[in-house]
Amino acid sequence: MSEKINVMVTTENMEQMQMAAMIASVGAVSGNDVSVFLSMNALKYFMKGNDHKAPVEGDMGNTMLEKNVPPFLELFQQAVELGDAKIFPCSMAMDMLEIKSEDLFDYVGEPMGLTKFISDVNEGQVWSF
């Protein structure tokens, strides 16, 4: 039985971004219906030409870097391409930051408002990072 997994990502912290990406990718490739909502500080990492490095919070982040763990952006992309996850950027954050849809990676879907996301997550798990 597949489940609905919803992941809300607002952080810029590398470890939290990594965990959000792992939940999205593992959930999606396991056949679950996965939706990811990107807002606030997370949105900048999904822009084409992005040169932002997510700040490391602790020892685990440094260990992931040393061990060459697949980066969170790669995992989010795999969630979409291999598991059919949907990634939605926050329309309000896009407006505030003056980001256009074409500025985002191709695997990021159409903008969505928070009201719509909340309405859609009525059923299933909700993870927030």
Q: What is the pTM of this model?
A: 0.94
Tell me what pLDDT residue 1 has: 58
Tell me what pLDDT residue 35 has: 97
Cα–Cα distance measured from residue 28 to residue 22, given in angstroms and rounded to the nearest whole number: 10
Tell me what pLDDT residue 2 has: 77
Question: Which two tokens mark 41?
Answer: 């500080």
Residue 23 near residue 79 (C-beta atoms within 8 A): no
Q: Where residue 123 falls among pLDDT bands split at 50, 70, 90?
A: confident
> Which residues have C-beta within 8 Å of that of residue 88, sequence separation ≥ 6?
35, 36, 37, 38, 108, 109, 110, 111, 112, 117
Taking the chain, what is the end-to-end CA distance rounded to the nearest angstrom? 26
Backbone angles phi, psi at 126, to 5 degrees: -130, 125
Topology of 4-128 in CATH?
Hypothetical Protein Ychn; Chain: A, (3.40.1260)
Mean of pLDDT values over 61-81: 95
Tell me what pLDDT residue 73 has: 96
- Domain spans, the chain: 4-128
